[in-house]
Structure 1
Amino acid sequence: MAHHGIHHVTAIAGPARRNIDFYTRVLGLRLVKKTVNFDDPGTYHFYYGNESGDPGSILTFFPWEHVARGRAGVGSTQETSFHVPESSIGYWTHRLLEQGVAHSAPEKRFGQSVLTFKDPDGMSLALVGVPENGDGAAPWVGDVSEEAAIRGLDGVTLLVEDAERTGAILTDVFGFRETARDGSLIRYSGDAPIGRTVDVRGAKGFLPGRQGGGSVHHVAFRAADDAAQQAMVQRLAEHHGIRTTEQRDRNYFRSVYFREPGGILFEIATDEPGFAVDEPKERLGHELKLPRFLESRRRQIETALPVLA
Structure 2
Amino acid sequence: MTAPSEPTATATPTHGPTHWVLSLSCPDRPGIVAAVAGLLASHGGNITESQQFGDPLSGLFFMRVQVEATAPEATLRAALDALGAEFSMTWRLDVAGRRMRTLVMVSTAAHCLHDLLFRQQSEGLPVDIVAVVSNHTALEDVAGFYGIPFHHVPVTRDTKTDAEARLLGLVEELDVELVVLARYMQILSDDLCRTLSGRVINIHHSFLPSFKGARPYAQAHDRGVKLIGATAHYVTGDLDEGPIIEQDVERVDHSKKVEDLVALGQDVERRALARAVRWHAEHRVLLDGHRTIVFR
TM-score, L = length of structure 2: 0.30
Q: TM-score, normalised by structure 1?
A: 0.29
Greater fraction of residues in strand: 1
- RCO (CA 8 Å, sep 6+): is it higher in 1 or 2? 1
